[in-house]
Amino acid sequence: MPQKNRRRKHKKRFVNPKDLKPARFRREAVPDVQLEQFRDDWRAASQYQETAFETLESDFLRDATADDRFAAWICFAHAMSRFMEQHPETTKAERKSILSCFLLISMGYSRPENIDEGLWQYLIFLSTPQAAIDS
C-alpha cells in the first residue's frame, strides 16, 4: 500500500521580532585553527563594524552551517583586505560601506540601489576564490 505524503503545509504567520530567541548552541567551541583565523580577520574588519568578537563567535557556535559561514567570513575578510590594498585612498566611511557590500554579497543579496553596478561587480569578483589566487 503506497504511503501518504505526510508533509504538513505550514501557514505563514506573523512573528513578533521581540519574541525571537537565539538558537541553541550546536558546537561547544570553535576549533583552534578556525578561531585563530577568525579572530585575525575580525581584527582587520572590526574598525569598520561594531560587532564584538564574542557576538560573532556565539553566532558561529549556533549556526547550523558553521563551516560554510566560516568560509564566507574568511572569503570576504580577504576580499576586504585586497580592496584596501588596491584602494588605500578610501575613507573609513567608504570602507565601512564596502564591508557591508561584501557581507551582502556573501549572503546572496542583490546590489543596493546606492551602489554603482561596476563597483558591485568588482566587489563580487574580489570575493571569489579566483581573485585570491590572482592577487
Residue 131 pLDDT: 57
Using DSSP's 3-state secondary structure scheme, residue 17 falls into helix
| Whether 106 contacts 76, CB under 8 Å | yes
Gap between the Cα atoms of 99 and 49, Å rounded:
8
Residue 119 pLDDT: 93
Gap between the Cα atoms of 77 and 59, Å rounded:
17
Q: How far apart are the first and last CA of the chain?
A: 61
Q: Name the pTM for this structure.
A: 0.65
Residue 20 pLDDT: 83
Residue 118 pLDDT: 95
Domain range annotation of the chain:
28-44+51-134
Closest CA to 57 of 42, 68, 71: 42
Residue 120 pLDDT: 93
Mean pLDDT, 10 residues at a time, the chain of 135 residues: 59 84 84 84 80 85 82 80 90 89 86 93 84 55
